[in-house]
Amino acid sequence: MKEKIGIAVLVSGGGTNLQALINAEKSGALEHGHIVAVISSQRDAYALERARIAGIPGYAFVRKELGADEFERRIAETVDSSGASLIILAGFMSILSENFVKKYPDRIINIHPALIPSFCGKGYYGLRVHEEALKRGVKITGATVHFVNEIPDGGRIIMQKAVRVRDGDTPEKLQKRVMRQAEWIIYPKAAEKVCRELIEKEKNNGKVQS
């Protein structure tokens, strides 16, 4: 069997990027990664149903119920106990603390629905990114996969893909096109790239599953 990196996917909503990752693993496009846990910040997130259908263990931890410290402690505990070496944020609507991020250096990745450094940073998420892109009149937007550090959208870029803005676009239309033409394509590719790199790093310390 091929060596694989365990992946924990953090979600909050519908889980379309999670589904793209699940599909990529099933098709073999994500050949060096294996999704071992899906962790949601919302109990009613449809992403948990996607995980159930795919046979992936799902967990829900709500920050308002637990408090920030316990919320992150539960997530870290679940990530570690699942055997995951890579954390993928897929529509995870909660900013992780500096302490959490430092626990997993170069092992947390995120996708942002714009070409960083445009329309990124604190407060830029969801439809607001596309609203601002249309307000500024840009002709090209896209998506960026990047490592997560203590600065929102500030980590090293892994992969980007451009998407053309069309006349008559609404934020909702643009959001869907960026998902279809960029996010769902490059997120699995970037995950595979990072998994391969982690395997190279971990080959000699016995952490890689085979």
Beta strands in 27-175 (DSSP E): 33-40, 58-60, 86-90, 108-112, 140-147, 157-164
Give the largest Cα separation in the chain, rounded: 54
Give the separation between CA 124 and CA 153, rounded to whole angstroms. Answer: 9
Contact 59, 78 (CB under 8 A): yes
Secondary structure of residue 28 in the 3-state scheme: coil
Give the separation between CA 158 and CA 72, rounded to whole angstroms. Answer: 25
61: left (phi over 0), alpha (psi -120 to 50) or beta: beta
73 Cβ neighbours under 8 A, 6+ residues apart: none
Task: Report the catalytic residues.
Answer: 112
